[in-house]
Amino acid sequence: FLIIEDDAYHDIYFDHAPPPPIYTYDTAGTVIYIRSFCKYISPGLRIAAVICPSSLMNALLTVKSLADNGSPLLNQKIFLHYFSSLRLQQHLEKIRIALQIRKEIMEEELAVTDWKWISPKGGLNLWVQLPDTLPTELLLSKSIEQSISFVPGQVCDPLKQLSSWIRLSYSYVNEIQLREGVKRFVAVAQSLSM
Protein backbone atom coordinates (compact mmCIF):
# COMPACT_ATOMS: atom_id res chain seq x y z
CA PHE A 1 0.00 0.00 0.00
CA LEU A 2 0.97 3.63 -0.37
CA ILE A 3 0.96 6.36 2.25
CA ILE A 4 -0.04 9.80 1.05
CA GLU A 5 1.37 12.48 3.35
CA ASP A 6 -0.45 15.78 2.92
CA ASP A 7 1.75 18.41 4.60
CA ALA A 8 -0.09 21.69 3.96
CA TYR A 9 0.76 23.30 7.31
CA HIS A 10 4.42 22.33 7.74
CA ASP A 11 5.69 25.92 7.93
CA ILE A 12 2.90 27.21 10.18
CA TYR A 13 4.23 26.47 13.67
CA PHE A 14 4.52 28.74 16.69
CA ASP A 15 7.47 27.76 18.90
CA HIS A 16 9.24 24.76 17.43
CA ALA A 17 9.36 23.34 13.93
CA PRO A 18 7.44 20.08 13.57
CA PRO A 19 9.27 16.78 13.22
CA PRO A 20 10.48 15.86 9.75
CA PRO A 21 7.86 14.45 7.39
CA ILE A 22 7.21 10.71 7.32
CA TYR A 23 8.64 10.80 3.80
CA THR A 24 12.13 11.44 5.18
CA TYR A 25 12.04 8.03 6.87
CA ASP A 26 10.70 6.14 3.84
CA THR A 27 13.16 3.47 2.71
CA ALA A 28 10.68 1.32 0.79
CA GLY A 29 9.32 3.92 -1.64
CA THR A 30 5.79 3.74 -0.23
CA VAL A 31 5.25 7.40 0.71
CA ILE A 32 3.94 10.09 -1.61
CA TYR A 33 4.71 13.46 -0.03
CA ILE A 34 2.52 16.43 -0.97
CA ARG A 35 3.45 19.89 0.22
CA SER A 36 1.01 22.72 -0.47
CA PHE A 37 1.87 26.39 -0.20
CA CYS A 38 -1.59 27.91 -0.75
CA LYS A 39 -2.59 28.12 2.91
CA TYR A 40 -0.04 30.80 3.71
CA ILE A 41 1.05 32.29 0.38
CA SER A 42 -2.14 32.74 -1.62
CA PRO A 43 -5.27 30.55 -1.37
CA GLY A 44 -5.90 30.76 -5.13
CA LEU A 45 -2.32 29.91 -6.07
CA ARG A 46 -3.01 26.16 -6.26
CA ILE A 47 0.64 25.15 -6.34
CA ALA A 48 2.05 22.19 -4.48
CA ALA A 49 5.11 20.00 -4.61
CA VAL A 50 5.02 16.23 -4.85
CA ILE A 51 7.87 13.93 -3.96
CA CYS A 52 7.47 10.27 -4.73
CA PRO A 53 9.28 7.32 -6.30
CA SER A 54 10.04 7.98 -9.95
CA SER A 55 8.02 4.89 -10.87
CA LEU A 56 4.87 6.72 -9.69
CA MET A 57 5.64 10.24 -10.91
CA ASN A 58 4.66 9.73 -14.58
CA ALA A 59 1.31 8.25 -13.57
CA LEU A 60 0.68 11.15 -11.17
CA LEU A 61 1.56 13.73 -13.83
CA THR A 62 -0.81 12.08 -16.29
CA VAL A 63 -3.68 12.01 -13.79
CA LYS A 64 -3.07 15.62 -12.77
CA SER A 65 -2.99 16.86 -16.35
CA LEU A 66 -6.28 15.10 -17.08
CA ALA A 67 -7.85 16.53 -13.93
CA ASP A 68 -7.02 20.21 -14.41
CA ASN A 69 -5.12 20.76 -17.67
CA GLY A 70 -2.04 21.73 -15.63
CA SER A 71 -1.23 24.69 -13.40
CA PRO A 72 -0.45 27.98 -15.17
CA LEU A 73 3.26 28.07 -15.96
CA LEU A 74 3.51 31.79 -15.13
CA ASN A 75 2.18 31.16 -11.60
CA GLN A 76 4.70 28.37 -11.14
CA LYS A 77 7.63 30.53 -12.28
CA ILE A 78 6.61 33.45 -10.09
CA PHE A 79 6.22 31.16 -7.10
CA LEU A 80 9.56 29.45 -7.74
CA HIS A 81 11.28 32.84 -7.63
CA TYR A 82 9.48 33.70 -4.37
CA PHE A 83 10.05 30.24 -2.89
CA SER A 84 13.82 30.52 -3.30
CA SER A 85 14.00 34.06 -1.92
CA LEU A 86 14.61 35.42 1.57
CA ARG A 87 11.21 37.15 1.37
CA LEU A 88 9.39 33.85 1.85
CA GLN A 89 11.21 33.18 5.14
CA GLN A 90 10.45 36.72 6.31
CA HIS A 91 6.79 36.25 5.37
CA LEU A 92 6.63 32.97 7.28
CA GLU A 93 8.13 34.52 10.41
CA LYS A 94 5.54 37.32 10.32
CA ILE A 95 2.61 35.02 9.66
CA ARG A 96 3.63 32.68 12.52
CA ILE A 97 3.60 35.62 14.94
CA ALA A 98 0.26 36.93 13.64
CA LEU A 99 -1.39 33.51 13.81
CA GLN A 100 -0.11 32.82 17.31
CA ILE A 101 -1.51 36.16 18.50
CA ARG A 102 -4.87 35.36 16.93
CA LYS A 103 -4.92 31.88 18.47
CA GLU A 104 -4.24 33.41 21.89
CA ILE A 105 -7.03 35.98 21.39
CA MET A 106 -9.46 33.19 20.54
CA GLU A 107 -8.41 31.21 23.60
CA GLU A 108 -8.77 34.30 25.83
CA GLU A 109 -12.31 34.85 24.62
CA LEU A 110 -13.22 31.17 24.97
CA ALA A 111 -11.84 31.09 28.53
CA VAL A 112 -15.15 32.54 29.80
CA THR A 113 -16.81 29.24 28.89
CA ASP A 114 -16.39 25.78 30.37
CA TRP A 115 -15.58 24.37 26.94
CA LYS A 116 -12.48 22.31 26.27
CA TRP A 117 -10.10 22.73 23.36
CA ILE A 118 -6.78 21.59 22.09
CA SER A 119 -4.29 24.46 22.07
CA PRO A 120 -2.45 23.94 18.79
CA LYS A 121 1.28 24.36 18.34
CA GLY A 122 0.67 25.72 14.85
CA GLY A 123 -1.82 25.78 12.02
CA LEU A 124 -4.88 27.89 11.41
CA ASN A 125 -7.60 26.32 13.56
CA LEU A 126 -8.68 25.59 17.11
CA TRP A 127 -10.58 22.38 17.85
CA VAL A 128 -13.22 23.04 20.52
CA GLN A 129 -15.33 20.51 22.41
CA LEU A 130 -18.77 21.87 23.22
CA PRO A 131 -21.03 20.45 25.93
CA ASP A 132 -23.01 17.43 24.68
CA THR A 133 -26.22 19.32 25.46
CA LEU A 134 -25.42 22.05 22.93
CA PRO A 135 -26.92 21.10 19.54
CA THR A 136 -24.17 21.73 16.99
CA GLU A 137 -26.49 21.99 13.97
CA LEU A 138 -28.70 24.58 15.66
CA LEU A 139 -25.61 26.46 16.86
CA LEU A 140 -24.28 26.58 13.30
CA SER A 141 -27.60 27.86 11.97
CA LYS A 142 -27.88 30.58 14.64
CA SER A 143 -24.21 31.51 14.21
CA ILE A 144 -24.58 31.96 10.45
CA GLU A 145 -27.42 34.41 11.18
CA GLN A 146 -24.76 36.44 13.05
CA SER A 147 -22.25 36.13 10.13
CA ILE A 148 -20.19 33.61 12.11
CA SER A 149 -19.29 30.18 10.85
CA PHE A 150 -17.43 27.09 12.01
CA VAL A 151 -16.86 23.57 10.77
CA PRO A 152 -18.74 20.84 12.67
CA GLY A 153 -16.34 18.09 13.72
CA GLN A 154 -18.44 15.41 12.04
CA VAL A 155 -17.57 16.92 8.65
CA CYS A 156 -13.91 16.06 9.29
CA ASP A 157 -14.55 12.65 10.84
CA PRO A 158 -15.29 9.70 8.54
CA LEU A 159 -16.74 7.79 11.52
CA LYS A 160 -19.02 10.75 12.41
CA GLN A 161 -18.07 10.49 16.11
CA LEU A 162 -16.94 14.08 16.71
CA SER A 163 -20.48 15.40 17.19
CA SER A 164 -19.59 17.73 20.08
CA TRP A 165 -16.39 19.03 18.46
CA ILE A 166 -16.11 22.04 16.16
CA ARG A 167 -13.23 23.63 14.27
CA LEU A 168 -12.85 27.39 14.62
CA SER A 169 -10.46 29.22 12.33
CA TYR A 170 -8.41 32.17 13.56
CA SER A 171 -6.62 32.82 10.28
CA TYR A 172 -9.02 34.88 8.20
CA VAL A 173 -10.03 38.00 10.14
CA ASN A 174 -7.96 40.59 11.97
CA GLU A 175 -7.53 40.64 15.75
CA ILE A 176 -10.36 43.10 16.45
CA GLN A 177 -12.84 41.22 14.26
CA LEU A 178 -11.74 37.91 15.78
CA ARG A 179 -12.25 39.10 19.36
CA GLU A 180 -15.69 40.50 18.54
CA GLY A 181 -16.68 37.42 16.53
CA VAL A 182 -15.73 34.99 19.29
CA LYS A 183 -17.64 37.06 21.86
CA ARG A 184 -20.72 36.98 19.64
CA PHE A 185 -20.27 33.25 19.02
CA VAL A 186 -20.06 32.53 22.75
CA ALA A 187 -23.18 34.64 23.34
CA VAL A 188 -25.09 32.67 20.66
CA ALA A 189 -23.98 29.37 22.22
CA GLN A 190 -24.88 30.50 25.73
CA SER A 191 -28.34 31.60 24.56
CA LEU A 192 -28.94 28.06 23.26
CA SER A 193 -27.74 26.49 26.50
CA MET A 194 -30.36 28.23 28.62
Q: What is the pLDDT of residues 1-50, one digit of tens each?
A: 899 999 988 999 999 999 999 999 999 999 999 998 887 787 777 788 89
Q: What is the pLDDT of residues 123-169, one digit of tens each?
A: 999 999 999 999 899 999 999 999 999 999 988 888 888 789 999 99
Range 55-63 average pLDDT: 87
**Rounded Cα distance, 101 and 170, in Å:** 9
**Rounded Cα distance, 101 and 116, in Å:** 19
Q: How many domains does the chain have?
A: 2
Is the same domain home to 45 and 98?
no
Which DSSP string corresponds to 99-143? HHHHHHHHHHHHTTS--EEE--SBSSEEEEEPPTTS-HHHHHHHH
Say which residue, 45 or 173, is predicted with more confidence. 173
Domain boundary residue, one of 26, 49, 84: 84
Is the same domain home to 38 and 99?
no
- Domain residues for the domain of 14 are 3-84
Is the same domain home to 107 and 124?
yes
Is the same domain home to 75 and 111?
no
Say which residue, 53 or 64, is predicted with more confidence. 53
Q: Give the per-residue pLDDT at 100.
A: 97
Q: Give the per-residue pLDDT at 31.
A: 94
Q: What is the pLDDT of residues 63-90, one digit of tens each?
A: 887 777 667 788 888 888 888 899 999 9
Query: In this model, does residue 102 exceed pLDDT 80?
Result: yes
Enumerate the β-bridge partners of residue 31. Answer: 3
